[in-house]
Structure 1
């Protein structure tokens, strides 16, 4: 199958990794659907950047936890774009807190966003791609905590583990339809969710990371752009960790901790 991507939807592309991804895909020649949850101005700024690169941008509000609305929003964006070749599930997040302090509502809020909403978005995208019969790329932005836990983040960690499993199963079932499914697992990235802007990455020292700084949103977007491209035609069911080597520091970090503070602070 000769896969040449021309259209993409990037959820939560009003800032951070989502915005960088939308711009990277536009730079690769794709028209982009931009979504926002609460920052409409940010989404419009992303759309303007896409248009400056000579590509079409369409904008829609998107709430991954509004399960009745998710399929319709994605389908409408695809119609306005003239198809859907690439879907990037970037919407996600969640607050932390000690496990013993969690209640079911708090648990379900995070799982609904990171896992249920991701399922609905990627399911809708896969159906649209299958109906067209021209293949596609589905990419989920997960986290390093989809493979290693973090104290104080039980629902986030559990939902990201679940999302990684969903990606792998989708890849098994959709491969013969020309659709690849992969995940990108960022480490600490200089984005608003981490109370940083992209330009702060180079100014922030992280001694516990082999590349001793946070990542830049563009460094995640570049990997996503590869997975969205024809060059990744034989890559599926893979998790691409983009963390500056942080996950490899487990034993070193463990043996060098000098206090029990991590048990409380994560």
Structure 2
């Protein structure tokens, strides 16, 4: 039998129990972790809006066992070889992030506004190449260093770790044991959970790409737009760093005309989905 084990200990697991809120959030994101991994294995890749169909559920079926003491311990078992591969894929992604945690120091979070100002200056000076969208699909940005699935998997784990990071959890720990074809255990206290979060939410923007799209939604409050790519019909979120940039494209929305613009891929944890990944607006073409 292969499977998964979660283990809460410390203040969060008084009398070998955890709250419904803690357990509910943990199980929701734990299932999503394995769903993300399965979708990548099934399709050979993962994209932002990929969905689990009911026909896929048996491949990610983990049976819940009786909780055990020692803090609060819960096991999930499977005999399905496909699920075993899914567990291994999750372990691979989490292990990669944890290896980065062992490295001395952390990169400072990038200031997106400053990065955009730099990109615009580089465009004006002609020192940064502008890719076509087709070229982006064929030749990913150099800042994209890992698969989008890795980001999707570790972001779900990070949501679980937000429970440990919370001040309401006091001095608590969380362990995730993944037993696929091999066994790995990942242990987190508050400090490690904070470091994990900083690593998997590290953000930067890529080099400029020429996009052609139609705008389906504009949201002035959040300075975002929903766009439909003219090349393949994919949907993505377009971000604006200020009201002036947002205002530049409103007429294209009002008149339902094609928008040609330069955008910078929004790269998080070294990953970007070229089909539906978020984009930062730079300027009109």
**TM-score after normalising by structure 1:** 0.26
More helix as a share of residues: 1
Q: Which has the larger radius of gyration?
A: 2
More strand as a share of residues: 2
Where relative contact order (Cα < 8 A, 6+ residues apart) is larger, the structure is 2
**TM-score after normalising by structure 2:** 0.25
